[in-house]
Structure 1
């Protein structure tokens, strides 16, 4: 049986920024996919939503993003970058899965808001973590 060998050196410097980019990709995916599903929410007969209500649900997700970005910086100072990336990624994953199973539009909006908090928190933390693992040339290129 082979033992787990932790990443070191160049492999670690390549893996961490790539992993952080993947996490941030899911943030962009979440925001854009809601726009694509909004017409289907309007047609969903059990919830009977109008355009203003769907727009409100979309806004709840963005308000969560803002709140998460503001609050997670303070938590990162206390807990550290790696822990916050793991926590925020787990947080938004749980609540985005809950969105898929939401039985009512009210719960769907609540889950969008709470998932947005995790998404908003993970973006600045991932950027800070990735930059910490890049050399000067990579930092210039982003």
Structure 2
């Protein structure tokens, strides 16, 4: 079975590459999509609409432009993997999880055990919770079989 998997969340580690490469090594027929993960590019997404003197309005415009990509990718995916890292608070990832839940899109959360309490509602709506990219790869291998 071919899947389209949306990779959401934390951008400061190589978890996406680990999952993509691990699935490729297993020969899985999975197409991966993601938000723009280059922080500066993401922050500048709305700059083409005109310069802003306030960082609030620049962020506001860029968030709306980024939402076009995110909403489209989530609507078109078969399932999502949503990563929460320990160092930064990924409000966008929590929003993506809620959006998946509202659309009835299955999702897997990926986070360390020390975030269990903070993410109990997000995990409660997830179809699975993993603590490592290798666990996600094994889940995807099972699903794509």
For normalisation by structure 2, the TM-score amounts to 0.28
Give the strand-richer structure, 1 or 2. 2
Structure scoring higher RCO (CA < 8 A, sep ≥ 6) equals: 1
Q: TM-score, normalised by structure 1?
A: 0.29
Compare the two structures and name the one with the higher helix fraction: 1
